Amino acid sequence: MPDSSTPPRTIRLADYRLPDFLIDAVDLAFDLREDGATVTSRLTMRRNPATSDPAAPLVLDGQDLKLTGIALDGEALGANRYTVDAEHLTVTDLPGVFTLDITTEIAPQQNTTMQGLYTSGGNFCTQCEAEGFRHITYYLDRPDILARYTTTIVADKAKYPVLLSNGNPVETTDLGGGRHRAKWEDPFPKPSYLFALVAGDLVAVEDSFTTRSGRDIALKIFTRRGDHTKVDHAMRALKASMAWDEQVYGFEYDLDLFMIVAVSDFNMGAMENKGLNIFNTALVLASRETATDGDFQRVESVVAHEYFHNWTGNRITCRDWFQLSLKEGLTVFRDQEFSGDMNSRPVQRITDVRRLRAIQFPEDGGPIAHPIRPESYIEINNFYTPTVYEKGAEVIRMIHTLIGPERYRKGMDLYVARHDGQAATCENFVAAMEDASGTDLKLFRRWYSQAGTPEIVVEDSWDDAAGRYSLTLRQSTGPTPGQPDKQPLHIPFALGLLDAQGRDLPVRLAGEAAPAAGTRVLSLTAAEQRFDFDGLAARPVPSLFRGFSAPIKLAPQPRDRLAFLFAHDSDPFNRWEAGQQLATQLLLEGVAARKAGQDWRLDAEFVAAIGRLLDDPALDAAFIAEATALPGESFLADQMRVIDVEGIHAVREAARLAVATALRDRLLAVYRANDDHGPFDVSAAAVGKRALKNAALSYLGLLRDDAEATALVLAQARGAQTMTDVLAALTVLRDRDIPERAQVLQDFYDRWQDEPLVIDKWFALQATSSLPGTLDAIRALTRHPAFTLRNPNRARALISSLAMGNPLHFHAADGAGYAFLADQVLALNAANPQLAARILVPLGRWQRHDPGRQAAMQAQLDRILAAPDLSRDVYEIAAKSRA
């Protein structure tokens, strides 16, 4: 905000009020032209009998609209009856029941914000969540207003042969003069954020799905011509999601048609508009040549996510935006479980926890920490966060863990029975789970209101005479902005006890009969709590918080225990975790030694343990790939009180080189054994083989003087048949200063210049290089003809890849990385505030850097805050980050 203006208004959960009016039906008509669009809206409305003010004026939301007509019950409204300001249309003296006709002019071609109605590649599309609909017409743009929609679209027939909206098509008419009209009707009342419209020159791939009650659903995925060859995987994922949701949740699809449209300019991943999901191309299109296995998996999970929203989000929506996690946390949990069923379940869990730790833990420990149900916001778009999504999913998972799958399902059934067709709250959800399960979740509710990551310290003792083993757990959560004092949480504690051979023992609480051997879920509910276990012949080895049963940080455990679990734990997540924790301790020791100018070498025992995993025939290849990778630089940074940027990078690379050197021949053998040239598929087995082969390659690629290894990397970069393999080899070359590097990158560019999603990878790759001069290379890339800030995928590929994926250069001691990021934020502020605010977030993470870096980051935040005409989005993140 410029100094002269007041900061933008804060919206608070505590201020929620029922709406004074309700909208029963809305009839929209769009006239789409090359110079703009006319929107006419007929609202069938009445006063809300549930509110206290029977004379309240009607205050409709609207921004960037030109009002050209307004009529009440068919009569033009006199100028004394309404007022218009920058954000509202206010109408006074209204009767109890009425219709309002509103005409507005909008400029989709000029709309660079990618909210409301805009154009992408010459096609029209919409993004209305959270508050985009108010950029289309005046409306009660809040999620607790549920209305029936009909939508009529008129446009040029040759330029826009495909005209789509929510629900079912009811009519298409040739209007003559080269124009045509389509009419759509959505029988399900919905909030405005689920409205969608698409008009364009698109091709459809069609399929169908028969529901369990025998209804045939037409499925259509629309893309630009040429891209239609890359939707098989999305279509398969869609059908699998529809079947899974019937089996696991009893949810059947409710319209006769389900459509997905791929759009190349999109701020987020995808959007669950009723019957008409709109997707970022990056999350629909996938082919062996252009997409990695990781991309294939993301497509599958996001297709599922948006489809699952039809019940958790659309049929039951949110009362207000503070309840966002009601639909997002729940739907992420659902898509994670779906992906776990479709692929390797342990690797899915590892991937999800890695992600939580990489993006949510830093948020929870930083300046914009907030509970999964925030209490206030300035701009709601800033709250589509890892906390609301990923931690929100962990909270649902904890309920699932505490009450078990059968009672969880009963809770879901009750939630739907009570709230189908309504706008609900997080409290409604927890109450349904509580009532259906008979489990007291009173204390558990604190997860919804308390921010921060709990830290847990565990101590154990063994009483040989009594055969009793005891664990004492202490939990604490550090202060977060606005929440200095924290209370104990209800934490599910999944525990295994192992004997000396690594076999699971029964986890028998003192005074109980012996349960079966295996994992037991206990409840930690106090700040400090002791658990006593009986019936043990010898001191067991504990496997704590199996499967990551709660989103917590566990204090470092003894190394011999970690080494034992890394070799033996029957819980695959905890086996992986033990290796990561052990590696973290070793690497941080290395960082400290380096700082003190001492010698350090990666523990030979640890290297040997990695070697044993590499060719263990009992293990899944994908799991081995995960378990033999060292923790990432950001994760290591998150474990330090003052982050040593260069030290972490140097020590981690030295450790990787030590592994590669010691295990060179075994790595080469693993590479060869998993280098499969059979027909391509993305089955868990095939993906696992590629992952393990490329894990081996990433180590081998560090052996600079090893001609055989280097030849392998170059051959794979030039000749591999899948993007997974090509990119794995390029990722090695990215960090190697060899003559072939430039040519390989250039060849890659030349080959893929017409595939935007592949060119995004080309930019991201260079932005994440550890080579000296990377920031200069990135600056030069901003002037590359293929670079544009206007395409969010492209902007993120270069800028966020640096800020989130390249700590060494983003946090360069001279502050140049910070200045570069601030430049880009300011360049985007006006055109696309939502994206500008999102890429800015890493600048706020200055708290655990050294004083020099702190000052440099703060200086850039100040520079942003001093800029004129700051958007609300950027203002909120910058101001909170500076505080």
Residues near ligand ARG (CB under 6 A): 129-130, 268, 270-272, 305-306, 328, 381, 384
The CA-based dihedral angle spanning residues 361, 363, 367, 372, taken in that order and rounded to the nearest 10 degrees: -100
Which neighbouring-strand residues pair with 262? 279
Q: How far apart are CA 55 and CA 39, in angstroms?
A: 29
The CA-based dihedral angle spanning residues 422, 426, 432, 434, taken in that order and rounded to the nearest 10 degrees: -170
**Shortest distance, position 448 Cβ to Zn ion, whole Å:** 18
CA 874-875-878 angle, 5° bins: 80
The CA-based dihedral angle spanning residues 799, 801, 803, 805, taken in that order and rounded to the nearest 10 degrees: -170
CB 25 within 8 A of CB 123: no
**Shortest distance, position 193 Cβ to Zn ion, whole Å:** 11
User: Which tokens in the block code for residue 593?
Assistant: 């030694």
Q: How far apart are CA 878 and CA 860, in angstroms?
A: 9
Closest to Zn ion by CB, 337 or 571: 337
Cα of 692 vs its chain's centroid, Å:
25
Which of the choices Zn ion, ligand ARG, none does residue 244 contact, using the CB cut-off of 5 to 8 A by kind? Answer: none
Q: How far apart are CA 475 and CA 487, in angstroms?
A: 9
Cα of 847 vs its chain's centroid, Å:
24
CA 464-465-466 angle, 5° bins: 95
Which of the choices Zn ion, ligand ARG, none does residue 575 contact, using the CB cut-off of 5 to 8 A by kind? Answer: none
**Shortest distance, position 290 Cβ to Zn ion, whole Å:** 25
**Shortest distance, position 792 Cβ to Zn ion, whole Å:** 17
**Shortest distance, position 318 Cβ to ligand ARG, whole Å:** 10
**Shortest distance, position 23 Cβ to Zn ion, whole Å:** 24
Sole residue written with tokens 């378990």:
627
Which of the choices Zn ion, ligand ARG, none does residue 667 contact, using the CB cut-off of 5 to 8 A by kind? Answer: none
Q: What is the DSSP letter of 373?
A: S
CB 688 within 8 A of CB 344: yes
Which residue, 260, 201, 212, is CA-closest to 236? Answer: 260
Which of the choices ligand ARG, Zn ion, none does residue 271 contact, using the CB cut-off of 5 to 8 A by kind? Answer: ligand ARG
Sole residue written with tokens 């890339």:
781
Contact mark string toward Zn ion, 330..359, x via CB under 5 A: -x----------------------------
Contacts with Zn ion: how many residues (CB under 5 A)? Answer: 2
Residues making up the chain, counted from first to last: 883
Could you confirm whether 306 is annotated as catalytic?
Answer: yes
Three-class SS state of 608: helix
Which of the choices ligand ARG, Zn ion, none does residue 130 contact, using the CB cut-off of 5 to 8 A by kind? Answer: ligand ARG
User: Which tokens in the block code for residue 169?
Assistant: 């098509």
Coarse DSSP helix, strand, coil percentages of the chain, rounded to the nearest 5 percent: 45, 20, 35
User: Which tokens in the block code for residue 185?
Assistant: 């009707």
Taking CB atoms, the residue at the shortest distance from ligand ARG is: 384
CB 306 within 8 A of CB 276: no
**Shortest distance, position 272 Cβ to ligand ARG, whole Å:** 5
Q: How far apart are CA 261 and CA 273, in angstroms?
A: 11
Which residue, 309, 215, 332, is CA-closest to 260? Answer: 309
User: Which tokens in the block code for residue 612?
Assistant: 């044993």
Closest to Zn ion by CB, 223 or 312: 312
Which of the choices ligand ARG, Zn ion, none does residue 698 contact, using the CB cut-off of 5 to 8 A by kind? Answer: none
Q: The dihedral of CA 315, 319, 322, 326: what is its sign?
A: negative
Three-class SS state of 101: strand
Closest to ligand ARG by CB, 132 or 167: 132
Which residue, 223, 153, 143, 157, is CA-closest to 189? Answer: 143
Chain positions 115 to 134 lying near Zn ion, rule: CB under 5 A, are: none
Closest to Zn ion by CB, 327 or 689: 327
**Shortest distance, position 331 Cβ to ligand ARG, whole Å:** 7
Closest to ligand ARG by CB, 272 or 755: 272
Closest to ligand ARG by CB, 305 or 761: 305
**Shortest distance, position 270 Cβ to ligand ARG, whole Å:** 6
**According to DSSP H, which parts of 569-630 are helical?**
572-595, 604-614, 621-627
Which of the choices Zn ion, ligand ARG, none does residue 274 contact, using the CB cut-off of 5 to 8 A by kind? Answer: none
Closest to ligand ARG by CB, 115 or 543: 115
CB 185 within 8 A of CB 167: yes
**Shortest distance, position 433 Cβ to ligand ARG, whole Å:** 22
Closest to ligand ARG by CB, 279 or 818: 279
**Shortest distance, position 166 Cβ to ligand ARG, whole Å:** 15
**Shortest distance, position 811 Cβ to ligand ARG, whole Å:** 28
Chain positions 313 to 332 lying near Zn ion, rule: CB under 5 A, are: 328, 331
Q: How far apart are CA 450 and CA 320, in angstroms?
A: 19
Give the up-direction half-sphere exposure of residue 349: CA atoms within 13 A in the CB hemisphere.
Answer: 20
- Full 3-state SS string of 147-200: EEEEEEEEEECCCCCEEEECCEEEEEEEEECCEEEEEEEEEEEECHHHCCEEEE
User: Which tokens in the block code for residue 442?
Assistant: 């009173």
**Shortest distance, position 136 Cβ to ligand ARG, whole Å:** 14
**According to DSSP H, which parts of 615-739 are helical?**
621-627, 633-638, 645-662, 664-673, 684-700, 707-719, 723-734
Q: How far apart are CA 613 and CA 632, in angstroms?
A: 19
Closest to ligand ARG by CB, 296 or 384: 384
Q: How far apart are CA 734 and CA 680, in angstroms?
A: 26
Supply φ then ψ for residue 311, to 5 degrees.
Answer: -95, -45
Annotated catalytic residue, options 129, 131, 300, 306: 306
Which of the choices Zn ion, ligand ARG, none does residue 258 contact, using the CB cut-off of 5 to 8 A by kind? Answer: none
CA 399-405-407 angle, 5° bins: 75
Catalytic residue set: 306
Interacting residues with Zn ion (CB under 5 A) = 328, 331
